[in-house]
A and B are shown apart, each in its own frame.
Chain A
Amino acid sequence: MITPITETDLLLFYYQEADEVTTSIIREHLPENTDWQYFLNELATISSESSSLMCSPSNTTLSIILEESRSQLEHTL
């Protein structure tokens, strides 16, 4: 009997945090299970869209931090 796989298991599988047994069950049955494929595709879409929101701090902020790190180094050495 196959252990029932929940959406939580699929979530952990997607983020590569599922245990070995769950991972191997999902890998084995994924090609024939359209519900799982659908859920994982949705997760992939959300992750991919999420990455479009990635942003950087301003150059001014980075310069201040680097200046502080240099100054701390001079004090320490």
Chain B
Amino acid sequence: MNAPIIADGVLIQRYMQGNQAAFETLLNRHRNRIFTSIYLLVNDRYLAEDIFQETFIKIINNIQAGKYNHEDKFLPWAMRIARNLSIDTIRSRKRMPVVVDSEGRDVFDCLGISVQSREDEQINQDEISALKHWIRELPEEQREVLILRNYAELSFKEIAVLTNTNINTCIGRMHYAILNLRKKMQKNTVRVK
């Protein structure tokens, strides 16, 4: 017989009372959903590792500082932290200056150590998935709703609160994301994955 699942809120309370195992359970329960969501949002495995770590360190600090509101659900709260950190990272990467050589090429391209090439290398190491590429090609707002619904498993209502939009906008974006993915799937004879 399976042991009953202990609610996230109970685990947080136990952790606050000194139970480290409760925190480990919480981390193991949500790590893949949160990590995959971050990874698909920032498109870089190394950055995703950093953001994931930073997210959980903020979670720990907030819990221990008594800043976790027990009326909130843990996952949407954690995803809010993860999403904000992901957005900050994407913005700061966009601000990074590109250093070009005399012919106007990005010097890091020549060295083969640019963020993009590191990501390409990771893609080669991974089992290349057509679906992953199609998800990346979706317009940002559609991609975000799809990731938050399918990977973070947030409800449309929770996504609406998180992204500061209304529920119908979220549903509409998800609908377009699905339509776009269907089109890409139908257009490609390659089997997904």
Contacts and interface: CB of A to CB of B under 8 A. Distances in A.
Chain A interface size, as a band, is: 20 to 34
B174 interface: yes
A7 B175 CA distance: 8
A73 B171 CA distance: 41
Interface stretch (B50-58, B72-80, B95-103, B109-117): B50-58
A62 B171 contact: no
Contacts of A47: 150
Contacts of A12: 156, 171
Contacts of B16: 76
Contact of B23 (A45, A53, A69): A69
A66 to B, nearest CB: 6
Interface string A5-18: 00110011001010
Given A8-B171, A17-B156, A72-B61, A54 B36 contact: yes
Contacts of B31: 56-57, 62
A65 B82 CA distance: 14
A62 B27 contact: yes
Given A55-B35, A62-B27, A65-B56, A46 B178 contact: yes
A73 B178 contact: no
Contact of A50 (B131, B172, B175): B131
Nearest to A55: B36
A12 B151 CA distance: 16
A11 B171 contact: yes
Given A55-B35, A57-B35, A49 B149 contact: no
A45 to B, nearest CB: 8
Nearest to B191: A49
B178 A70 contact: no
B138 to A, nearest CB: 12
A54 B178 CA distance: 18
Interface in A17-31: 17
What 3 pairs across the A-B complex have the smallest Cβ distances?
A65-B56, A57-B35, A50-B150
Interface of A: 7-8, 11-12, 15, 17, 42-43, 45-47, 49-58, 61-62, 64-66, 68-70, 72-73, 75-77
7 contacts: A42-B182, A53-B131, A53-B151, A56-B31, A61-B53, A66-B27, A73-B23
